[in-house]
Structure 1
Amino acid sequence: MNRTEERHGVDPVDLVDRRERHLAVAHWLLTAAGDAEVARKEWQGQGVALLACGGIFAAVRLPGDLVRTVARTEDQDEVNAFLARALERGPVTGDRYADHYHALVPATTAWRWKPRSRRGLECLGRDCYLGVPSPDPDDPQGRSFWAVPMASPGALCDPRLVWAMVQLGTARQAAAAGQGT
């Protein structure tokens, strides 16, 4: 163990495992890129790459206000922790400027998804693209970030858990609106 590892309490084996896991996740995600090398450079330079939905994953767009309502907090770290628990560590990205989250789900979810009346709620499947942040925490982080990082290649959110969270958030918002009138 070197001095840096001793000072920061880093286990070299865990560090290698983490790097290997990030690399494996990156390779898996890059299969959704039109050009993997361009996407890799986008991750390194901008921290985000445009990936196609509908092949290896779909993404359920969740409005930020809905997520914060169901999480019962405005604190970003607490929201991230809530999402990790509620979606059983399934991967979720966030967009700081557009104020929404994307739960990555199996691609077949988009085929079964029925549009709902909730504004901003959508399942991105075929013919949709998503700005996905780099899975490497050493790459720049900007507009797009991992609220819940992808644990391993292909490990996605259970769409039933995502839908249950949407229903709970919608019910809480409706109850709050009813109390305000």
Structure 2
Amino acid sequence: MPHHAPSLMQTDPCTDPEETAADWLLKTLPEQAHARILSLWQRKLTAMLPLGEGLSAVRIPSAPLRTLTGQPETPSAAIDEYLARALEGGPVICDPASLHYYVIIPSGLPAAWHRAAAAWRELGIIYQGDGSWVGVPGPARDALDPDTYSLYWAVPVADPPAPCDPSLMARLGADLYRAVTHREPPR
């Protein structure tokens, strides 16, 4: 897997340069759960993490990504590389079994997204925030395992860790909408 460019969001002064990807992801859980989650990740298992407190996700089915990129199959290294470029290294989880990608963004749906996010639902693209959970592989799982088809980081968490810039996700959503519907997305 190629090294991915760091996210523009990493210059955020709230990001601790000493924080590891695991520390960053564990912030969504009470401290007493940290050892259990770390144990799951050490055994190469997936942990369920709550969204809404610090992080949200945008679930993207693979079909719109295949249409946009011209890739016949998912998951694929070509789609992972496309997402790394389009999202400037913002973290993305791939669930090869369900053929979905999860772009990790900061909590809260930006007000400017409300109309666009409603249109994205037409493509199966769903914003997941407060009250939702997402399966998260350990930070070291950064490639498809063809034997297990387990979740992996299509775009690994950068160092220092930071969510994807929401404006880059909005641009990707608009590109996906145009590619599939051949119409301009609502603004």
Q: Greater relative contact order (Cα 8 A, min sep 6): structure 1 or 2?
A: 2
Amino acid at match of 1:132: V
The residue identity in structure 2 corresponding to 1:91 is P
**Deviations 1:34-80 (Å, cap 9, x if unpaired)?**
41111112212343111111112100111111122222223501101
Partner residue of 1:30 out of 14, 26, 31: 26
- Structure having the larger proportion of residues in helix: 1
- Whole-angstrom CA distance in 1 between matches of 2:50 and 2:122: 24
Q: CA deviation at 1:111?
A: 7.1
> Which position in structure 2 is the counterpart of 1:73?
71
Q: Does 1:158 align with 2:186?
A: no
Q: How far did residue 98 of structure 1 move?
A: 1.0
Rounded Cα–Cα distance in structure 2 between residues aligned with 1:110 and 1:125: 11
CA deviation map 1:64-123 (0-9, x unaligned): 111222222235011011000000010000101111100000112377653424242111
Query: Equivalent residue for 1:56?
Result: 54
The Cα RMSD (Å) is 2.7
Q: Distance in 2 between matches of 1:125 and 1:45?
A: 27
Aligned residue pairs, count? 155
CA distance in 2, matches of 1:22, 1:128: 28
**Aligned-partner Cα distance in 2 for 1:137–1:63:** 20
Following TM superposition, by how much is the alpha carbon of 1:152 offset from its aligned partner in structure 2, in angstroms? Answer: 2.6
SS of 2:88 mapped into structure 1: coil
Aligned equivalent of 1:4:
none
> Aligned to 2:48, what secondary structure does the other structure show?
strand
Match of 1:91 in 2: 91
CA distance, structure 1, for counterparts of residue 34 and residue 65 of structure 2: 32
What is the correspondence of 1:99-118 to structure 2 with a 5 Å cutoff?
Answer: 99-109=99-109, 113-114=113-114, 115-116=117-118, 117-118=121-122
Q: Is the 8 A contact 2:21 2:159 kept in 1?
A: yes
Which blocks of at least 5 consecutive residues in structure 1 are unaligned? 1-20, 176-181
Distance 2:18 2:72 in 1: 29
Q: Letter of the 2:156 partner, please give it.
A: P
2:84 is paired with a residue of what secondary structure?
A: helix
Give the stretch that moved more between structures: 146-155 or 92-101: 146-155
Task: Select the residue among 35, 40, 43 that pairs with 1:45.
Answer: 43
